Amino acid sequence: MTTLQLLNDIISALLLLAPSAAVLSLVIAGISLRREGTMTFAIGGGFTKWMFWAIVFLTLQPLLSWFTSFGVPVPLPGGGIATGWLASLQADLAQFMTNFVVLRLVPTLAAFFVLRAILDAASGQHPLPSVLAAMFLLGTQTTYNLLQSYNTGTRYATVDVLDSVWNHLVGTIMPIAAVLALIGAILNFATRKPFTRLVAVALALLTVSAIWKLLVSMM
Amino acid sequence: MNLGNMSFDNGILHLANWMGNVIMPTLAAVFIIMAILQFSKGQEFSHSMYGALACLLVSGLTRAFETFASQAAWNNPDLYWITIRTLIDWVANVILPVYAAGQVAAMALRLGILSLVQPTSGWLRHFVTAALCLMVSGLLRLAEFFVAQGGGGVT
């Protein structure tokens, strides 16, 4: 039985919109990073959930190839979208995401988070979560490109990207976070607040891979 | 605004650089001012004083921490323990001997100047502190010896 052309076109349109959905997930992840309220993002919280969905959308096509191995053939339509109105709808939505959301809305949201950081400080809270959220939002496009560069295109692409993100987090972001922890420790010491916890955290952030290996060797 | 050139990595790196190299040296002056005011009121001022020094040493302390954290291979399960042990070694064998010298100087000041005015000034405390600073390893070995002696339990 042949698949209806319109159905094929709908599948094509949805697959072509997956990158836009991934970018949108990254934007929502950036907002969740602040909304979770602390400097630490909760595993299983909004930020990680939306990052996960961004990666799933990015690797949707390789992920679907698993169904073939389950014995359920998933013939993905090749080529473009034959139905005119559907093709223009897909193009319009993709353009809306790029021109409206990424290029205009995201910088404005980031600017609001900078203001939020100042207001956070005024109300006695820490300004860093809002600053980090603003930075994450401004880096949405680059983060998307980074995730895309990790996409191996194989059936394991989703976990490959997750692995690479972990490596990037541990190897690039956490050593920088260690410096921020050290600065926090110095400020806490000078203002007579507990500081040893932050010293231990700074050292732990520099040795995350080793702590992972320690955990593995304990099992 | 070119969003293609903006990355979270660059943002957080430059934030850390700005904090460490611009804001913290400025805050050092604030802590020195606080130390002076606390000293004038007879309050404890050492936290502000050492805090000001640490504010100027962010880069150096970061390099020190990086050195502590690279005493073994990145995938060595003992690396975190080795890192903490190296930090403790550094404090006990590098920082405390310097602190001991400071305590000897404080003792000399007490003996030479303050004891003329106040005979009960605590010069002995500075002397004992200096001695203890130089004996951290020995004290640890002593404690280990006591614990080892008690390994058999009470008979």
Phi/psi class of residue A72: alpha, beta or left (left: φ > 0; alpha: ψ in -120 to 50)? beta
- In whole angstroms, what is the distance from residue A159 CA to residue A152 CA? 10
pLDDT higher than 60, residue B140: yes
Other residues' Cβ atoms within 10 Å of the Cβ of residue A7: 10
Could you write out the DSSP letters of every residue in chain A? -PPPHHHHHHHHHHHHHHHHHHHHHHHHHHHHHHHT-SSSPPTTSHHHHHHHHHHHHHTHHHHHHHHHHTT----PPPS---SHHHHHHHHHHHHIIIIIIIIIIHHHHHHHHHHHHHHHHHTTS-SHHHHHHHHHHHTHHHHHHHHHHH---STTHHHHHHHHHHHHIIIIIHHHHHHHHHHHHHHHHHTTS--HHHHHHHHHHHTHHHHHHHHHHH-
Find chain B residues with C-beta within 8 A of A146's C-beta.
Answer: 7
The widest CA-to-CA distance across chain B, in whole angstroms, is: 79
What's the residue count for chain A? 219
State whether residue B18 sits within 8 Å of chain A by CB: no
* H or E element, residue B84: helix B79-90
Q: Out of B9, B48, B68, name the one closest to residue A172 (CB).
A: B9
Chain-centre distance for alpha carbon B20: 18
Q: Out of A172, A183, A202, name the one closest to residue B19 (CB).
A: A183
Find chain A residues with C-beta within 8 A of B52's C-beta.
Answer: 190
- Residue A1 banded pLDDT, cuts 50, 70, 90: low
Q: Give the alpha-carbon dihedral of B120, B126, B127, B130, to 10 degrees.
A: 170
Size of interface A-B (CB pairs under 8 A): 132
pLDDT higher than 70, residue B87: yes
Residues A120-146: tens digit of each pLDDT: 889 888 888 889 999 999 999 999 999
Average pLDDT over chain A reads 87
Residue B63 to residues A202, B34, B68, B129: CA-CA distances in angstroms? 12, 28, 9, 29
What's the pLDDT at A167?
Answer: 93
What's the pLDDT at A90?
Answer: 85
Cβ contact A170:A208 at 8 Å: yes
Decide if A191 and B74 are in contact by the 8 Å CB cutoff. Answer: no
Find chain B residues with C-beta within 8 A of A210's C-beta.
Answer: 72, 74-80
Q: Out of B8, B51, B54, name the one closest to residue A139 (CB).
A: B8
Cβ contact A63:A158 at 8 Å: yes
pLDDT higher than 80, residue A75: no
Give how far A36 is from chain B: nearest CA, Å: 18
Percent of chain B that is helix, strand, coil (3-state, to 5): 80, 0, 20
pLDDT higher than 90, residue B86: yes
* H or E element, residue B141: helix B136-149
Q: Out of B4, B8, B68, name the one closest to residue A135 (CB).
A: B8
| Least confident window among A71-75, B55-59, B90-94 | A71-75
What's the pLDDT at A137?
Answer: 93
Decide if B47 and A210 are in contact by the 8 Å CB cutoff. Answer: no
| Tokens standing for residue A124 | 């006695």
What's the pLDDT at B6?
Answer: 87
**Residues 37 to 96 of B: which have CB under 8 A from any A CB?**
47-48, 50-52, 54-55, 58, 61-62, 65-66, 68-69, 72, 74-80, 83-84, 87
Three-state SS string over A135-168 comes to HHHHCHHHHHHHHHHHCCCCCCHHHHHHHHHHHH
Decide if B83 and A203 are in contact by the 8 Å CB cutoff. Answer: yes
Using only C-alpha atoms, chain B has a radius of gyration, in whole angstroms, of: 22
Mean pLDDT, range B21-47, rounded to an integer? 88
Residues A147-203: tens digit of each pLDDT: 999 999 888 999 999 999 999 999 999 999 999 999 999 999 998 899 999 999 999
Decide if A136 and B52 are in contact by the 8 Å CB cutoff. Answer: no
What's the pLDDT at A134?
Answer: 93
